Amino acid sequence: MNYFAHALPFLDDPYYAVGTAVPDMLMVVDRRARLRAKRVAPLLRADEGRTVSVAGGLLQHFRDDARFHETRAFAETSLALTVLVRDALAAESGFRPSFLGHLLVEVLLDASLIAEHPAELEQYFQRMASVDPRAVEAVVNRALPRPTDRLAPMIAGFSDERFLSDYLEDAKLMVRLGQIMRRVKLPPLPAEFQELLPQARSLVNRRRRELLDGIPTPPPMTNP
């Protein structure tokens, strides 16, 4: 799962919502910062409400991902997209097609949810902008064996960057995928890769209900 799918049911608690994003953020800004559920769980006993909310969001992320990745729908959709990618990349084998197959499931699931919940996406950005990034980072550092100082800047810039909105348009999504390829040191995608995105979107849209089986669903939204 990706940022919006994790956070959508929890937008009434900004610190919980940002907690659901933190593991993915750390993969972007500090891959050495390894969070483990057993180090996060004791924070649920803290006296301070923000700490409990952030810790709850972190653990929610772990639960959601564990459930999501064990579904038959994820295995089948990821495989189908891996084959689609492999064919688009001239029958390339190896890590890149499988990585992209996995990635596209998660990114395009977010795109599907964003298309259906545009107001909630705006509320998500507002919630992310409302938290104290340094306070979130301080909570996370209590669960890390090696503290990071790179998380707070990403939280602070998240709403301004608004990269989740780019998932809705194929050309903009290609730019975001290119950034990911560079970050994980994989070869760039050819321009014609964009041609498979409509088919990939359609496949993920068809399997969305199954992909989210057992994952919390968003409650009725209140005014920001």
Closest CA to 131 of 218, 15, 5: 15
| Residue 90 CA: distances (Å) to CA of 23, 67, 195 | 33, 33, 14
For residue 70, the 8-state DSSP code is T
Average the pLDDT over 36-52 and give the result.
Answer: 96
The reported pTM is 0.92
218 pLDDT tier (thresholds 50, 70, 90): low
Query: Is pLDDT at 221 greater than 50 in this prediction?
Result: no
- Identify the weakest region by mean pLDDT among 26-35, 83-92, 101-110, 115-124: 83-92
Instruction: Grade residue 215 by pLDDT with cuts at 50, 70 and 90.
Output: confident
pLDDT value for 222: 40
Among 156, 162, 161, which Cα is nearest to 137's? 156
For residue 223, what pLDDT is reported?
A: 37
Mean of the per-residue pLDDT values of the chain: 93
Reported confidence tier of residue 208, pLDDT bands at 50, 70, 90? very high
- Lowest average pLDDT, out of 95-99, 192-196, 207-211, 214-218, goes to 214-218
Given a cut of 70, whether residue 197 has pLDDT beyond it is: yes
